[in-house]
Amino acid sequence: MAETETASQNRRDRRRERMEHTREEVRQFWQRVTEGRELDQLWTQFRTEARESYGLYSREVDWDEVQKTRPWKRPFHAAWALFQAMLMRLSPARRVLLLVAGLLFVLELPTLLVFLVARQQHPGAADAQFLALSAVLFFILLALELADRITMKRDLEIAREIQHWLVPEKPPQIPGVDIAFATRPANTVAGDYYDAFVRAAPGGERLLVVVADVAGKSVPAALLMATFQASLQALSVTAGSLDELVAGLNRYACAHSLDGRRFTTAFFAEIDPATRILRYINAGHNAPMLRRASGRTERLEAGGLPLGIPVEGPSDGRYESAEIKLEAGDLLVIFTDGLVEAVNAAGEEFGEAGIFPILNSQPRQNAEATLKALMAEVDCFVGMARQHDDVTCLVLRAA
């Protein structure tokens, strides 16, 4: 009797161990699938992605034509128009596959509804075969689309690695100047650019600081960013002035901007480490914020239009430059519009007003600490909302 009870207890222990092992495997699988996100975070992410997908397809719909139909027909016309917009995004072969799968499902939908709702009959063998075939075709279509996405993602990962080569990993070590920078692409590759390096200029070596934002996002913007970086490095070799450097970049940009449709906003600053004189040109970029050690804030706005916009007339695309003198403790923040236009789930923008509290709360912190505090504030404001634009920020503090 005791042996029987022991055997039963052992079987129960083994079943319990198997159940615990299964639960642990399910938990780990769920962790991999969700990447550790809670259900409310997943739901927020799904709603954001659904809105963006709807916006992508709805742009292809002629809503004026939909409004001309009778009210009771509008939902059907709208659904059909959205379906066609999705369909035309596929290759011809996959369009046919989707139509066949959809047709098989629609033909057997009444029988399936009767079985699920009325419970009056079971689907026949032919019905089950058609439904199974429809599901298989949908799965094949999904697998093909995923294969394309994986291939494209691999190519984009390589492109992202190349982009990392085009921007500095660490700021230069310049006596009297403390620099930190950070960038976050909205997609795998970005159109933002930043750099800081020493170049030969009239009167001696100067620290050149550049932050730029190419119009657009993803691959097109990334390609233009690469050409901007190449042009900047090539022109920086010559010992020309900052005005000549920016004029040369603008001439190249105008020749390849498709009549101004592919422009670039940029901020350029040259600093003489010995005198702390900063000369700058703002080419249509967000005006950087200069917080003086006294607490007063200035905006660096002198410059002109974005690079790549053709100009006719006396100005001929020339840019206005300006000079300021940095004092110990002064803090300069250069950023792209992705930072101030970051939105939360309610659609509210972070705005430039969100930067001032960070600058005022970091009067004696180094550039790295100030940058981390600013990026953390943006993250806190945005929450789980999807990032819509590249975010780049460069902080410079005069020591």
pLDDT category of residue 301 using cuts at 50, 70 and 90: very high
Decide if 171 contacts 233 (C-beta within 8 A). no
**Which sign, positive or negative, has the C-alpha torsion 330, 370, 177, 282?**
negative
DSSP 2-37: HHHHHHHHHHHHHHHHHHHHHHHHHHHHHHHHHTT-
Strand partners, 180: 395
Q: Is the pLDDT of residue 34 over 70?
A: yes
Nearest 5°: the CA angle 313, 315, 317 is: 100
Please report, for residues 36, 221, 256, 359, the alpha-carbon distance to residue 189 in angstroms, rounded to integers and kept in the order given.
25, 8, 21, 29
pLDDT value at position 180? Answer: 94
How far does CA 187 lie from the centroid of its chain? 4
Decide if 215 contacts 225 (C-beta within 8 A). no
Q: Which of 114-123, 298-307, 389-398 has the lowest mean pLDDT?
A: 114-123
3-class SS shares of the chain: helix, strand, coil, % to 5: 50, 20, 30
pLDDT category of residue 384 using cuts at 50, 70 and 90: confident
pLDDT value at position 394? Answer: 95
Order across the sheet with 177-184: list the strands: 177-184, 391-398, 331-335, 289-291, 297-299
Please give the share of the chain, as a percent, with pLDDT higher than 90. Answer: 23
pLDDT value at position 193? Answer: 92
The whole-angstrom separation of Cα 321 and Cα 267 is 11
| Cβ atoms < 10 Å from Cβ of 117 | 8
pLDDT value at position 222? Answer: 83
Q: Is the pLDDT of residue 316 over 70?
A: no
Q: Is the pLDDT of residue 270 over 90?
A: yes
At 262, is the secondary structure helix, strand, or coil?
Answer: coil
Please report, for residues 80, 93, 117, 381, the alpha-carbon distance to residue 86 in angstroms, rounded to integers and kept in the order given.
10, 14, 30, 34
Query: Phi/psi of residue 122, each to 5°?
Result: -95, 145
Amino acid at residue number 321? S
The whole-angstrom separation of Cα 303 and Cα 318 is 9
The whole-angstrom separation of Cα 376 and Cα 361 is 14
Tens digits of residue pLDDT in 2-22:
566 777 777 777 888 888 888
| Cβ atoms < 10 Å from Cβ of 100 | 14
pLDDT value at position 2? Answer: 59
pTM of the predicted model, to two decimals?
0.71
Parallel, antiparallel or unpaired: strands 177-184 and 391-398: antiparallel
The mean predicted confidence, pLDDT, of the chain is 83
pLDDT value at position 289? Answer: 93
Tens digits of residue pLDDT in 332-360:
999 999 999 898 888 889 988 888 888 88
Strand partners, 315: none
Q: Which of 21-25, 151-155, 165-169, 288-292 has the lowest mean pLDDT?
A: 151-155
Q: Is the pLDDT of residue 322 over 90?
A: yes
How far does CA 311 lie from the centroid of its chain? 31
Tens digits of residue pLDDT in 187-242:
777 889 999 999 888 878 899 999 999 887 778 888 888 888 999 998 888 878 89
Structure tokens at 396: 């410079």
pLDDT value at position 113? Answer: 59
Decide if 282 contacts 267 (C-beta within 8 A). yes
Tens digits of residue pLDDT in 105-129:
777 666 655 655 555 555 555 556 7
pLDDT category of residue 306 using cuts at 50, 70 and 90: very high
